[in-house]
Amino acid sequence: MATVLTVILNWRTPDMTLRSAEAAVAAMEGIEGAITIVDNDSGDGSEEKLRAAVADRGWDRVRVIQSGHNGGFGAGNNAGIRAGLPGGARPDFVYLLNSDAFPAPDAIRILLGHLQADPRLGMAGSFIHGEAGDPHVTCFRFPSVASELEGSAQLGPITRALRGHVVPQPIPAAPARMDWVAGASLMMRQDMLDRIGLFDEGYFLYFEETDLCLRAARAGWQVLYVPESRVAHIGSVSTGMKGWGRTPSYWFDSRWRYFRKNHGLASAIAATVAQTIGLSINRLRAAIGNAPRNGPRRHMRDLLAHDIRALVRGIDPAPARLAKPVTERTT
């Protein structure tokens, strides 16, 4: 029987993480494997609270480990994946679940079934929805220079001309191949990870699952979006993204790293130029009242300042800096 290792990453949200783990325990019923909660060096008593709660609830399939440092989403999940199953056994599949995501009782089993049925599949992702049932866009094309222009301009004629490069994809009614899917609920084949490697820990937050899916695609693996696997998601609890008034530096770090690493320096520069042109179009339309302003405050200036620094300093590409606590990321 196939084994599944479920990994839940916690950073200063122990109550939410326990709620996620409770849903995962139910969804893992009848599936061989275990659940690992990784505390990503929260430093606020989260680890102790999680360990005590797991013991009190008698969750013998759940364990809590400590990553040792807050290296971000990829590094934290890598710590859980490297730990393997209890005793160090290697799982057949790894299932990543956000600490603010809650799988339906059959959500994990459905993903597992698709991966077992098709050996070409390296990953499968769920239909993510809000607690009220509102769908979240979590299936995408890979970013490109053209998509940077389209996404920042948000202008009908440009979108129609570049429709083959639009990154967010409509939610399909049936399972469908995608370039990449969000990591909030994502099952991965261990054989694939053994061949292409784990998350690139140079990304602190954002673009890490995009990078992993691109590496998988280049190695011949496919990614499947599975709408029957349903997972409720609060969203941005740990990152504070919904409250961004200004784009944090680690987002720019990750974006630059993705383009620079995967497509070369010329493409990274072209992507920044394309986004700048698109944002300029958007700002002009917003000024005359024909469109809402795209992006947080000072986004275009921060983008240019960051990427010019990256270019001048020869970042090739530089590891992302550790982020400050999300309570400080309100600008």
Summarised one tens digit per residue, pLDDT across range 85-109 is: 999 899 999 999 999 999 999 999 9
Give dist(CA 306, CA 249) in Å, integer: 8
Per-residue pLDDT of 29-46, as tens digits, reads: 999 999 999 999 999 999
Please name which of 218, 136, 142 lies closest in space to residue 185, comparing C-alpha atoms: 136
| 10-14, 305-309, 313-317: range with lowest mean pLDDT | 313-317
pLDDT at residue 259 in the model: 97
pLDDT at residue 55 in the model: 98
Q: What is the pTM of this model?
A: 0.92
Give dist(CA 166, CA 173) in Å, integer: 19
C-alpha torsion sign, points 223, 225, 229, 230: positive
318 pLDDT more than 60 = no
| 27-31, 43-47, 255-259, 294-298: range with lowest mean pLDDT | 294-298
293 pLDDT more than 70 = yes
pLDDT at residue 131 in the model: 87
Return the CATH number of 3-135+171-241, one of 3.40.50.720, 3.30.1330.60, 3.30.230.80, 3.90.550.60. Answer: 3.90.550.60
Question: Rounded to whole angstroms, what are the CA distances from 217 to 168, 244, 274, 295, 297?
Answer: 18, 32, 25, 30, 35
Domain ranges of the chain: 3-135+171-241, 244-326
pLDDT at residue 240 in the model: 47
| DSSP string of 55-110, one letter each residue | HHHT-TTEEEEE-SS---HHHHHHHHHHH-STTSPPPSEEEEE-TTEEE-TTHHHH
Per-residue pLDDT of 149-193, as tens digits, reads: 999 999 999 999 999 999 999 999 999 999 999 999 999 999 999
